[in-house]
């Protein structure tokens, strides 16, 4: 249909505005030296921290899960602010680096332990690299001169929603000879690229849906992409994780990490975790990495799988009992050995006899206003180092639903 082509698409003017906006930003930051662009990005990131409340909550939540055993909550709050600053610096620096030559890219990126790549390629036809969304990760498709000669460089990419920007980004990423693959490419082409001596980068630190494999990431049970380990096993190639650490404003350092044991989704996830710990402030924490995926026909058991290991960083669920019908109880399909359940109850309510007796109980007053409920939920969430992952109740009011959403906490309302 003609309406489906970019020239006739209803979003064409929006796409054009985004396209030309990015070009002009690139031109403007291209007039400045890299360190100054980095500092400007820090300032813009600091401003964003003040205005992006929901993203601020997500960053804080991620840091609580990943680092709660190393830092107290006040330190993590300050780290979330600094994370916004560093993310702004890295994102603006990424736009600046699009106009740099290969030699200029080479000058702003150093490699700490290149011998790991040389050693991996000596025993493997190709190499799967797992960079993280950290530092100025747009540089990673332009560091071909950092690898041993004679190897083609490739990378997986996710197409942008804006086709005009997507075409431009693809051209920029391919400018130094990097071959780009998407999920539409067949495994045969990807594994063939590796068997012929290729080095393939796959960003593997972001969240996935139900197609992911249950693993523990920073000690928290979640799902991770099986793609790196699957491709590596099929092509019989080695795997390394890699971090990109800010060394100084406008300069970054690469560090590689070998896997412990055989290639698997679990061992790949552990290596990615070590890479992120090299510089937590450089990590892109603005995505809800440990989001609990819920669906009317898919419960917490479906999401987490049958895991029953010892709890290290368990999920925290809040049973909201005010307003629930008499006789209501937690549905069995919403119980899981990795979840610790807490109870919110009014002073007038008796504790249900189906509780185990070990649950933490929070006595709350019945509040119909959204803002009062939001404060109650926020206080309960902050009462422990780990955050509340979801609230489960029956016949949730609109005020409770909105209060949970404003706290960036999913809510399940079951009959």
> What span, in angstroms and rounded, lies between the C-alpha atoms of 245 and 239?
20
- What is the reported pLDDT for 204? 87
262 Cβ contact partners less than 8 Å away, ≥ 6 residues apart: none
C-alpha separations of 159 from 162, 167, 251, 414 in Å: 8, 9, 27, 37
Architecture of the domain made up of 300-413: 3-Layer(aba) Sandwich (3.40)
User: Sheet containing 153-156: which strands, arranged edge to edge?
Assistant: 109-111, 251-258, 238-248, 127-131, 199-201, 153-156, 179-181
DSSP 264-298: -HHHHHHHHHHHHHT-GGGB---S-TTPPP-BTTB
Query: What global pTM score does this model have?
Result: 0.90
Which sequence spans correspond to the domains of the chain?
2-97, 109-282, 300-413
Could you report the average pLDDT of every consecutive run of 10 residues in the chain (415 residues)? 57 86 86 95 97 95 93 95 98 91 92 96 95 92 89 87 83 79 83 94 90 92 94 95 97 97 95 97 96 83 79 89 90 91 92 90 83 92 94 92 93 86
What was the pLDDT predicted at 10? 75
Query: So what's the pLDDT on residue 163?
Result: 84
Per 3-state DSSP, the chain is made up of helix, strand and coil in percentages (nearest 5) of: 45, 20, 40
């Amino acid at each position: 249909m003609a309406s489906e082509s970019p020239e006739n698409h209803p979003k064409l003017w929006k796409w054009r505005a985004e396209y030309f906006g990015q070009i002009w930003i690139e031109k403007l930051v291209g007039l400045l030296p890299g360190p100054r662009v980095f500092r400007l990005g820090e300032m813009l990131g600091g401003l964003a921290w003040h205005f992006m409340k929901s993203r601020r909550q997500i960053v804080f939540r991620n840091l609580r899960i990943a680092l709660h055993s190393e830092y107290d909550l006040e330190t993590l709050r300050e780290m979330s602010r600094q994370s916004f600053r560093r993310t702004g610096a890295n994102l603006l620096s990424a736009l600046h680096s699009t106009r740099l030559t290969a030699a200029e890219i080479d000058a702003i990126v150093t490699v700490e332990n290149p011998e790991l790549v040389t050693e991996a390629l000596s025993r493997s036809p190709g190499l799967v690299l797992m960079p993280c969304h950290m530092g100025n990760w747009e540089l990673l498709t332009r560091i071909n001169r950092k690898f041993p000669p004679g190897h083609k460089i490739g990378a997986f990419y996710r197409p942008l929603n804006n086709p005009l920007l997507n075409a431009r980004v693809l051209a920029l990423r391919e400018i130094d000879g990097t071959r780009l693959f998407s999920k539409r490419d067949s495994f045969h082409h990807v594994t063939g690229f590796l068997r012929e001596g290729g080095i393939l980068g796959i960003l593997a630190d972001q969240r996935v849906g139900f197609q992911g494999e249950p693993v523990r990431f920073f000690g928290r049970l979640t799902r991770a992409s099986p793609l790196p380990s699957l491709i590596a096993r099929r092509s019989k190639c080695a795997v390394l994780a890699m971090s990109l650490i800010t060394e100084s404003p406008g300069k970054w350092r690469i560090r590689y990490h070998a896997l412990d044991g055989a290639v698997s989704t679990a061992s790949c996830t552990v290596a990615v975790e070590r890479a992120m710990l090299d510089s937590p402030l450089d990590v892109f924490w603005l995505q809800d990495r440990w989001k609990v995926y819920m669906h009317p026909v898919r419960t917490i058991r479906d999401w987490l799988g049958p895991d029953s290991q010892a709890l290290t960083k368990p999920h925290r669920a809040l049973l909201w009992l005010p307003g629930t019908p008499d006789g209501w109880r937690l549905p069995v399909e919403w119980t899981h050995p990795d979840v610790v359940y807490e109870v919110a109850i009014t002073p007038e309510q008796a504790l249900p006899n189906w509780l185990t007796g070990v649950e933490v109980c929070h006595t709350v007053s019945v509040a119909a206003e959204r803002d009062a409920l939001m404060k109650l939920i926020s206080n309960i969430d902050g009462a422990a180092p780990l955050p509340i992952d979801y609230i489960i109740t029956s016949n949730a009011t609109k005020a409770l639903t909105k209060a949970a959403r404003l706290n960036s906490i999913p809510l399940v309302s079951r009959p």
